[in-house]
Amino acid sequence: MAYQNRNNRSNYNDVEVEVGQQFKMTIKKMGINGEGIGFYEHKLVFVTGAFTDEKVVAEVTKVYPNYIKAKAVKINRVSEDRVEPRDSYAGTVGGFELESLSYPAQLRFKRDLIKQALEKFQPQGYKNFKIRSTMGMEDPYEYRNKAQFPVRMKDGKVIAGLFKEGTHDLVDLPECSVQYPATMKVMRKIVEFIQELEIPVFDESNNSGIIKTVIVRAALNTDDVQVVFVTNTPKFVKKGFMLKKIMMELPEVTSVMQNINPGDSPLIWGDKTLHLAGKDTIVEKIKGLSFELSARAFLQLNSIMLPRLYEVAISALELTGNEKIVDAYSGVGTIGLPLAKHAEEIRGMDIIPEAVEDANHNAIINKIRNAYYEVGKAEDLLPEWLEEGFKPDAIIVDPPRTGLDDKLIDAILKSAPEKFVYVSCNPSTMAADLVQLTRKYKVDFIQPIDMMPQTPRCEAVVKFTRK
């Protein structure tokens, strides 16, 4: 097989493929990013904008040694699951990849993602795993509790929205059907204020300007709203005028913060966060408990489905009230603290100091005295606790998309708590982790939960029993 990357051409089985070339193909299934998958002359092709069983005209966008990336430019046979999206920019920016797919089909797809991941990594006994139907929303819109929009100037107008896939071309989002309405109302008013006050926004061409990103987070159950201005410099010109406008025209905003992130960094957040007005935190209520959230604290984007996710995870632990529990990747304690009344002791950890501070504070304000959180990596702290003689009866993990660190898996297998639940946000890394975990644990069930409708992202709760 000859491959000429520098010319963006591929020669595979004597068939030459190049960027811009078009060909007809049938979509066989869908991949982890919501793209259609098929074959052209025996070569694997990933096609954005195409669904299972559709016949499309695909246009090559990039060529790799073993596969091709393409986009659907014409659909000759339309899937019966294809629907009209609510958002005009669906398919242009990220976060709406499946908005043209009916919701029942989205739920089936997410269950299939887990099956695909298990078939790829083949953990012990995977063919007998009970994979439940995906738990979905009654209304799969207006669920995102946080809008995190870059702000730029375009044709003399301040815009805020999301970048086109793979570019730095910002698409203005005056409306967004998946955002909680309060976040969009506040976001559009803030953009209006920036325009009126002529506050310089970030210019990537020379790293100038002040406001880079506006973040709005709204609490579903308390009506608190927080605004964070991510700025290129500590200096925030006309800050006083901005705060006055917020106070006068957006009384629902209870917290205003500034995060400083200088230069053209790919990261949204900088290290320093300043308090500008109102409270330092906002309060969300989950399963009867109050949680104070600082600006950088992680909370699942879907507050509507969050209690259902936790109900599955908590019931899967089958607690008696006598267990010592490790709450790994704990965030602000939203999983661990509701467990406290069912346990003897909760020990949790997270790498973000503000999250750990919030978790310990949340334990105090909820009068929980048997929960303690520490700053550090789960893969470092759990082995330390085991060395000190702490032996957990149960563990619940809610790792990032990268999955569990090998060192943490070793510590889990060494301590081998009887009860173990894994909350996953990435079927691929979950399936990879199961290869090692199934050496000592049997998988009782996997429950997919749709926390992010209209996207290919899928959460899942795995219940284990020690062999």
| Contact yes or no for 434/426 (Cβ under 8 A) | no
List the beta bridge partners of residue 390. Answer: none
Write out the two tokens for 283: 């309060």
| Contact yes or no for 210/198 (Cβ under 8 A) | no
Dihedral through CA 216, CA 94, CA 115, CA 424, nearest 10? -30
User: How is residue 135 annotated by DSSP?
Assistant: B
The active-site residue, picked from 137, 256, 425, 431, is 425
Distance CA(51)–CA(66), nearest Å, equals 21
Which helix H or strand E contains 58, and what residues bound it? Answer: strand 55-63
Write out the two tokens for 178: 């998946």
Write out the two tokens for 240: 């006083």
User: How is residue 200 annotated by DSSP?
Assistant: P
Q: Where are the alpha helices (DSSP H) in 167-280?
A: 181-197, 239-249
Long-range contacts of 256-259 (CB under 8 A, 24+ apart): 256/226, 256/227, 256/228, 256/229, 257/226, 257/227, 257/228, 257/229, 257/295, 258/228, 258/229, 258/230, 258/231, 259/228, 259/229, 259/230, 259/231, 259/295, 259/296
| Contact yes or no for 316/155 (Cβ under 8 A) | no
Main-chain phi, psi angles of 442, to 5 degrees: -100, 140
Distance CA(352)–CA(357), nearest Å, equals 9
Hey, how many other C-beta atoms are within 10 angstroms of the C-beta on 366? 18
In 139-267, which ranges are E strands?
146-154, 157-163, 170-172, 211-218, 225-231, 253-260
Is 425 tagged catalytic?
yes
Taken in order 346, 350, 356, 362, the sign of the CA dihedral is negative
Q: Kindly list the distances between the CA atom of residue 44 and the CA atoms of 12, 63, 110, 172, 327, in Å, as whole numbers in the listed order.
A: 11, 11, 21, 34, 41
Which residues are catalytically annotated?
425
